[in-house]
Amino acid sequence: MLSERRQRVLRALIEDYIEFALPVGSRTLTERHRLGVSPATVRNDLSALEDAGFIQQPHTSAGRVPTDAGYRTFVDELLQSGLAQEERPHQAMIDELRASATELDDLMERTGAALSRLTDCLSIVMAPSVLAGRIHQITLVSLSPWQAIIIVVAEDGQVVNRTVSFTEEVSADELAGAQNLLNRVLVGRTARDARRQLDENAIEALRDPLVQLIIDEVVDCLGDADASRAHSLGISSLLRQPEFSDAKALLPVMEVLEDDRVLFHAFDDAVGEDGPIMVRIGHENPTSELAGVSIVACPYGRGRSEGVVAVIGPTRMNYQNAIRAVRAAQCVLHDE
């Protein structure tokens, strides 16, 4: 347990390091912050903080920089004190985004762009799972007797579509009949649960080869949409950070984030929580390739089809700003 004075010293060091990206010395701290003690006392406190693992000295003659443990203490204090919590952060941005977006995909793209601008970090907006969400409407549009477009609208506003080809001619009446049946059977249910909840008459009707083909295409279409749920923006913002000025330093991070399984795992703690911010710092992340970055994330939406909004940046990120921005993005998307 840190004393109040050493907590102030650690906070001041982290704030300076976040702002200037340079190791911080005792004299700098006493000049920039009203710590109420001499440089000698600050030096002693820095030595104690280093021994406890909260800071480290990259070079013998240099100042100190925070460790992951130091950032964790800093972030926990931020969250406990409420300094990063506002009832409706960035309200003007929330109102503007909601007014300008025409559909959910557009809203996610605009929210991700705003999030990246606010934080100078990589933004991730993960759409709710279409497979886990309820179906609102299925529309079949004939292109020819041999081909049609399937359009599936989820209750949360997501829209996916797929072109299906037939081995035999399908009339407009047959297509309309299949559309009516699928809407009667599937609307209000999830694609995952539909077959387990059907009555005997519906199961018999679904044995029609045309209906079976379309259902298979609907499930495949939703599965493909689920596999590409993440909208990411702001790689150029990361490249402007001193930690990633050499693109090679960012390459392992980008490679691991291209693997959806790793990406979903990185946000496991955020999904299913009722609103709290998840902050993972450096080595707290589930894979070693993410040990040089921090993730700030929280869920949006309700029920089984929650999405996630997050930023990924260097461990030196401005956590107070990132937490407020992510909470604002959550407010934009939460009721959509």
Q: Which of 268, 334, 279 is nearest to 311 (CA)?
A: 279
The correct answer on CATH 3.20.20.70 for the domain covering 135-227 is no
279: phi then psi, degrees, rounded to nearest 5 = -125, 115
Higher pLDDT, 66 or 194: 66
Please give, one letter per residue, the 3-state secondary structure of 221-247: HHHHHHHCCEEEECHHHHHCCHHHCCH
- Work out the pLDDT band at 96, boundaries 50, 70, 90: confident
4-66, what's its fold?
Arc Repressor Mutant, subunit A (1.10.10)
91-128+229-334, what's its fold?
Beta-Lactamase (3.30.450)
| pLDDT at residue number 65 | 96
CB atoms within 10 A of CB 115: 27
Residue-wise pLDDT tens digits, 115-148 = 999 999 999 988 777 767 788 899 999 999 999 9
The stretch 185-190 carries a mean pLDDT of 81
Q: Do the domains 91-128+229-334 and 135-227 sit in the same CATH topology, yes or no? A: no
The Cα 61–Cα 170 span in angstroms is 79
Indicate if the pLDDT at residue 303 is higher than 60: no
- Highest mean pLDDT, choosing among 61-70, 100-109, 215-224: 61-70
Q: Where are the domains of the chain?
A: 4-66, 91-128+229-334, 135-227
Cβ–Cβ under 8 Å, residues 226 and 129:
yes
The two beta strands, 293-300 and 278-281, are: antiparallel
| pLDDT at residue number 84 | 62
Per-chain mean pLDDT for the chain: 83
pTM of the complete model: 0.77
Which tokens sit at 98? 């909601």
| pLDDT at residue number 185 | 80
Q: Which of 316, 151, 323, 295 is nearest to 230 (CA)?
A: 295
